[in-house]
Amino acid sequence: MMGLWPLSGAMEKQATHSTVRSASSPNRAVVGAVLAVALVFGLVRAIGFMMSADGGAVVDRARAVTASQEVVDRNSVLLKPFPIADGRWRLKADLDRVDPRFVAMLIAYEDRRFYAHPGVDPLALARAALQAVRNGRIVSGGSTLTMQLARLLAPRPKRSLTAKLVQMRDAIRLDLAFTKGEILALYLTLAPYGGNLEGVRAASLAYFRKEPHKLKLAEAALLVALPQAPERRRPDRAPHAAESARNRVLDRLVAAGVIEADELGPALAAPIPSRRLPMPNLAPHLALRVAASGTGSRQALSLDAGLQKTLEDLAKSRAAALGPEISVALLVADRRTGLVRAEIGSADFFDERRAGQVDMVAAIRSPGSTLKPLIYGLAFEAGLAHPETLIEDRPASFAGYRPRNFDFGYQGTVSVREALQLSLNIPAVRLLDAVGPTRLVARLKRAGAAPKLPRGGVAGLPVGLGGIGLRLEDLVTVFAGLARGGEAIRLRRTEAGEVAARPFLDPRAAWHVTDILRQTPPPADRGPQGFAYKTGTSYGYRDAWTVGYDGRHVIGVWVGRPDGAPVSGLTGRTAAAPLLFDAFERLTATFGTGGIVPLPLAPPGTLIAAAADLPPALRRFAPDQPVNGTQVREPAPTITYPPAGARVALSRGADGLPRPLIVKLDGGRPPFQWFANGRPVEAEGRRRQATWRPDGPGFSTLSVIDAGGRAASVTVYLE
């Protein structure tokens, strides 16, 4: 930053002024003559440069200055900036968002007549020349902030009188083309602060993790001092040099009356930052998508930075507790407007073990049981069932498709309300068989989802239990529609556009679904929630889901391995639901709602009745085509998880021992006896699953024998 006249502040100029005045009269004459010759020479050369063909190039360069692309939240809080092409952090400075005291300190120290001179300060140049003659060396500089900006816009390799005159010419050009505020904003955007940091915003974020409108006195003084020698004074590499420079700024500003004397002590005692901090990196997956597709240097999203940071920390800690390769995705939307308030694509963007750069909000996965509420809603809408309708949870075959409940047990006769709250598979398939899987897929699309059908594109009954591909965003969109009483709404990441809602489900049916989900039992160690929610687990423990909503927000959670590998025992209820409850707690704290926002009341015409008071046709589910649900006898047992030949990843607990694995079977007649490598496994005899703690990695054989003496076994490899 130093040319023939090194850059220094107005305070240095003032400090040496008395020395010049004490020179003898002959010396003054000599100085005056030298100064006059220099000024005339400089004026002639400056006029020549001003008339040259390239004299306006600096103005064009100033207008073409590019800054880092920024993604900000709904309150203009920076979520994530992106470096410019050569890797420098150059954040555009906005004077309205820079501490006015910092600006006053900068001008007082560097260029006290900034607002009065035309880009070049003749008095400062004359003083610098007099001091150089008097001391036989360069004592202080005469560069203005505008001249410094000119040098930043057109750096020259050699320091010479010609280079300085070019700066003077360019400074005058800049002063004619821009306002003082625009010149100051350009300087604060381009000023070097060490390494690849340019501009006061990049420096403030890197050294203090705050925007420059929040600077404290000591911090502002350090940022005033750094551009004079950015590499020699870098606080992360030369803390003593940085501290000395900062303290000189403070001392001279006190002497000039810019800051109060009683502020000096605390400011001098303030520590110097010892390291550079990373730039903000909130919502990195979404920010990358927006930056790649958007135009302009600033993209404003509907997210809330405070909530985003809180939930990112929550997701990271939850994933760490679940295992080293497990990730988490989370999406929060305002159910009234569809605006997304937080979006977390992974537990840790930089964690390679968790494939952190894979955006699981947009990944297509099996939704497990999370679509059951829509199945029940369609049955309510069609008049096939009521929450208090009785329905059978018994073994059944649907044209060869034989679904089983998650625990491979059966509840017998239950109410539809209980069937949905317990997430029973057989009743859900019975209802889906009645309403039709094609209708389910069509309603998903009308709700705003983009389901991916299995190969062949034919919707069968398995779609109701997860035999379809959906994204977390799709699920949140569908549940937002349920929360709105059957009105579909598109999720948005920006405030632009209007809310365009359209019905996709009868509002009374949607209310019944919400009323049932609101009473879903909470996970272990959790109290009544006050919001509606549904969990889901995909086949083979690959995906754990939960989606919940209250009167204001919808939250969707996914937990699993991004590579799709199974995780033994990973379920929506045990892995995803606790995270949902924690997210709602942090959501209400962030938005100050004082708790869960109540869900809406039942719409007019909603039938609310006990089972005995229902019309006869609704007391028991009996579709017009009963041929679809024929009871069958259980076949021989088959171990369904882990499947034969599978490679199962073991995880270890705090005691260093392998964590238990859940093993499941289909068919057979209880009670059952389980064996692992020939040794009995303790299990509830009438349940179709057992908990097995392996000895360690390697091949293992699992076997089961039912009450009829029929057996099944599989061999798996544990790693």
- Residue 525 has what DSSP assignment? T
Alpha carbon distances (Å) from 357 to 28, 111, 471, 693, 719 = 69, 47, 16, 33, 25
Q: Which of 12, 68, 70, 110 is catalytic?
A: 110
**What are the tokens at 572?**
């929506």
Please give the backbone phi and psi of residue 352, each rounded to the nearest 5 degrees, phi first.
-70, -30
Residues 6+ apart with CB under 8 A from 574: 523, 524, 544
CA distance 187 to 167: 14
Query: DSSP E strands: which ranges in 186-338?
Result: 197-198, 298-300, 327-334
Map 540-589 to HEC letters.
CCCEEEEEEECCCEEEEEEEECCCCCCCCCCCHHHHHHHHHHHHHHHHHH
CA distance 351 to 347: 8
Distance of CA 200 to the CA centre of its chain: 25
CA distance 230 to 304: 34
- Residue 692 has what DSSP assignment? E
**What are the tokens at 429?**
């398939």
- Residue 455 has what DSSP assignment? T
Q: Which of 500, 504, 497, 513 is nearest to 481 (CA)?
A: 504
**What are the tokens at 24?**
């003898």
- Residues 383, 512: contact at Cβ < 8 Å? no
- Catalytic residue check, 302: no
CA distance 429 to 425: 6
CA distance 373 to 466: 13
577: amino acid identity, one letter: A
- Residues 184, 95: contact at Cβ < 8 Å? yes
Please give the backbone phi and psi of residue 591, each rounded to the nearest 5 degrees, phi first.
-95, 0
- Catalytic residue check, 110: yes
Distance of CA 543 to the CA centre of its chain: 21
Distance of CA 408 to the CA centre of its chain: 39
CA distance 110 to 183: 14
Q: Which of 143, 369, 700, 703 is catalytic?
A: 369
CA distance 354 to 346: 8
Alpha-helical runs (H) found in 87-121: 100-110
Residues 6+ apart with CB under 8 A from 452: 364, 468, 469, 470
Distance of CA 154 to the CA centre of its chain: 38
CA distance 675 to 704: 6
Residues 6+ apart with CB under 8 A from 140: 5, 6, 8, 12, 13, 16, 127, 128, 131
Please give the backbone phi and psi of residue 194, each rounded to the nearest 5 degrees, phi first.
105, 135
Whether a cis peptide bond, with omega within 30° of 0, leads into 157 is no
Alpha carbon distances (Å) from 140 to 5, 68, 132, 351 = 7, 34, 8, 51
CA distance 347 to 484: 29
- Residue 339 has what DSSP assignment? B
- Residues 150, 167: contact at Cβ < 8 Å? yes
CA distance 662 to 431: 29
- Residues 206, 197: contact at Cβ < 8 Å? yes
- Residues 479, 470: contact at Cβ < 8 Å? no
- Residues 440, 432: contact at Cβ < 8 Å? yes
Q: Name the residues annotated as catalytic.
A: 110, 369
